[in-house]
Structure 1
Amino acid sequence: MNRLDTLNTPGTPGIGVEPLNTPRLARNPTGYFRVPLATHRLANKVAFITGGGGKIGVETAARLIREGANVTLMDISFEALEEALVTLKDAIYTGEISTSRILTVVGDASKEEDMVSALERTVKMFKKLDIALLNAGVSYAAKPLLKTSEEEYDRVMGVNVKSAFLGLKHVGKTMAALGNGGSIILTSSIAGLRGAPGLSVYSASKFALRGLATTAATELGPSGIRVNTIHPSGLGGPSFQQSWTEEQLEEMKKGMPLGRFAETHDVSSVVAFLGHEDSKFITGSFLKIDGGAITF
């Protein structure tokens, strides 16, 4: 008997062989481990991203493209989308023309007609829709609640919450009609998990996304559509650092067990996971991307 025969003989001690009395069905009841792992795990997937011209939108689009997906970027700024296209050309290694993999749509995600049009164009071009990152959002300079204006309230809630509502409504309709299920991810914040002094309305808007997401997860689940929120902490980088003094930054870092601020790639990798079948049994959940800043 050669070594290969020995290894393939049930109950024979050897590398990779368990005793005969080990219940094989208990070890592997589904056989799912036999499914090959794809290098480009999002190949042939189609993703739709609002706020697509921003830091998180562009970084996430790059990650999804590298994983094999085609992407629609929706943003209110034509200039931001132009810059995004230049950046994203580097994410395509196959020599394909970027316009065959990336669709850009100028539109306001908080306006229903723009949302509907962007999704119609996405399906017309790519014939499907598998992933949506509802990422459009605005904030404002920190100030006490008693000094926050009605106009600021209307603007922040009108963008952050309304765009997510419209996205859930029409992405949900589109995915349900296509009949292949899908994954919808809402970009919230750690301000959607705890109070944020100086940012009362922003915090309220990010808390609201949890209510939308958990309800949508329940309603859309029977159609195979998953809905989750992600909660990044403040993103590092020049613009973030310029908003605070060195002393404030150091004090904030003390509350980060991993010792640094979040980066855009920390967020994009979680979105890629939620867009893939590896997360197929996760819905109605919130995922913190905060280096341990919030523990509960």
Structure 2
Amino acid sequence: MAQDREPRVVVVTGGARRGGMGRAIAEAFLAQGDRVVVSDIGSALRTHPDYEVAPAEDLADAAAELGGEVLTVACDVTDEAQVVELFDRAVAHFGRVDVVVNCAGLAIGLTPVVELALDDWKVNLEVMATGTFLCSREAARRMRAQGDGGRIISIASQAGKTGQPYLAAYSAAKFAVVGLTQSMASELGADGITVNAICPGTIDTPLLAVRGGVYQTFSGLAGRTEDDYRRRLMRQIPAGRFGTPEDVAAAAVYLASPGASFVTGEALNVTGGQEMH
């Protein structure tokens, strides 16, 4: 599309999976004419005995499907050295970094807290709290060195505002993302760097339907079929529908836009009214 600005360089973590929020975010920025670095964990996917992790597509396939100016980089966001390499490669290829969207995430250990395994607790915190910290810190360092501002956007959750049953580890990780967002916004405002979070509600992505995911786990705990659970869940949403990855992508594009230059430290609900706090 035509635009009256220079293309930005946008780094999106967790961006390879078809039907996921990260892929939709990458597509939305590409549609704006931006250059996008799509990162995902690649072939080194975590495994879990009770949770089917839908594999991220091969990054080369993601690049071909997305089109546009795309660089793909395999990166485990919990590994500091890999995060530094991700940003090194982004700068080496495109010359700078303007926008970072922290979208890498998972939901393991959906269980009563008294049954929550320590390993599941740690994985949630490592991927979403530590991973967001490492990528945000590296982004801030690069943006400060560039000297002309930037945008850091992290995908939190409505569960990062209101703790929910059987989501203790996930909620704790997402609360951490919101707190990190506020602290970094306070520190980086003078550098012209805005730092915001997006708090999606029930977004209908493939990860909700995998074995051990939200639909199977919560329908089982409620003693209902998955279809019945979905219908009851939808009735809790004032907008009358589940969200889409494109709803979240639109929020990310807004927070990176000139119109959001005075918006920082926010945790923006994209929930159809399911969360109003």
In the alignment, the residues of structure 1 paired with residue 197 and residue 205 of structure 2 have an alpha-carbon distance, to the nearest angstrom, of 23
User: CA 1:238 to 1:74, structure 2 compared with 1: closer, same or farther past 3 Å?
Assistant: closer
The residue aligned with 1:188 is 156
Cα offset, 1:39, TM superposition: 4.5
In the alignment, the residues of structure 2 paired with residue 41 and residue 232 of structure 1 have an alpha-carbon distance, to the nearest angstrom, of 30
In the alignment, the residues of structure 2 paired with residue 41 and residue 291 of structure 1 have an alpha-carbon distance, to the nearest angstrom, of 32
User: CA 1:206 to 1:135, structure 2 compared with 1: closer, same or farther past 3 Å?
Assistant: same
Instruction: Indicate yes or no: 2:262 matched with 1:281.
Output: yes
2:109, 2:116 within 8 Å by CA — same for their partners in 1?
A: no
Range that drifts further, 168-177 or 121-130: 121-130
Match among 84, 98, 103 for residue 62 of structure 2 = 84
The residue aligned with 2:220 is none
User: CA 1:42 to 1:62, structure 2 compared with 1: closer, same or farther past 3 Å?
Assistant: farther
Cα offset, 1:262, TM superposition: 0.8
Q: How many residues align?
A: 249
In the alignment, the residues of structure 2 paired with residue 132 and residue 66 of structure 1 have an alpha-carbon distance, to the nearest angstrom, of 16
User: CA 1:166 to 1:50, structure 2 compared with 1: closer, same or farther past 3 Å?
Assistant: same
In the alignment, the residues of structure 1 paired with residue 3 and residue 24 of structure 2 have an alpha-carbon distance, to the nearest angstrom, of 17
2:241, 2:272 within 8 Å by CA — same for their partners in 1?
A: yes
Match among 60, 71, 92 for residue 36 of structure 2 = 71
In the alignment, the residues of structure 2 paired with residue 84 and residue 162 of structure 1 have an alpha-carbon distance, to the nearest angstrom, of 25
Alignment of structure 1 residues 243-262 onto 2, 5 Å: 243-244=215-216, 245-262=226-243
Q: What TM-score, normalized to structure 1?
A: 0.80
Q: Given residue 244 of structure 2, which amino acid in structure 1 is its aligned partner?
A: E
**Deviation string, structure 1 residues 44-96 (Cα, Å, up to 9, x no partner):** 1110111122311111111100101000111111544233223202xx4xxxx
2:38, 2:71 within 8 Å by CA — same for their partners in 1?
A: yes
User: CA 1:227 to 1:41, structure 2 compared with 1: closer, same or farther past 3 Å?
Assistant: farther
The residue aligned with 1:98 is none
Match among 249, 252, 262 for residue 268 of structure 1 = 249
**Deviation string, structure 1 residues 217-275 (Cα, Å, up to 9, x no partner):** 01111111000000001221555356251111111111101100010000111111111
In the alignment, the residues of structure 1 paired with residue 259 and residue 65 of structure 2 have an alpha-carbon distance, to the nearest angstrom, of 28
1:48, 1:132 within 8 Å by CA — same for their partners in 2?
A: yes
Sequence identity of aligned pairs in percent?
A: 30
The residue aligned with 1:12 is none
Q: What TM-score, normalized to structure 2?
A: 0.85
Taking CA–CA contacts closer than 8 Å with sequence separation of 6 or more, which of the two structures ends up with the larger relative contact order?
2
In the alignment, the residues of structure 1 paired with residue 103 and residue 4 of structure 2 have an alpha-carbon distance, to the nearest angstrom, of 22
Larger radius of gyration: 1
Q: Which segments of 5 or more consecutive residues in structure 1 lack a partner in the other structure?
A: 1-37, 93-100
In the alignment, the residues of structure 1 paired with residue 165 and residue 177 of structure 2 have an alpha-carbon distance, to the nearest angstrom, of 19
User: CA 1:39 to 1:196, structure 2 compared with 1: closer, same or farther past 3 Å?
Assistant: farther
User: CA 1:241 to 1:151, structure 2 compared with 1: closer, same or farther past 3 Å?
Assistant: closer
Q: Given residue 226 of structure 1, which amino acid in structure 2 is its aligned partner?
A: T
User: CA 1:173 to 1:252, structure 2 compared with 1: closer, same or farther past 3 Å?
Assistant: same
User: CA 1:234 to 1:45, structure 2 compared with 1: closer, same or farther past 3 Å?
Assistant: same
The residue aligned with 1:178 is 146
Alignment of structure 1 residues 88-167 onto 2, 5 Å: 88-89=66-67, 92=68, 101-167=69-135
Equivalent residue of 1:83, what SS?
helix
Equivalent residue of 1:73, what SS?
strand
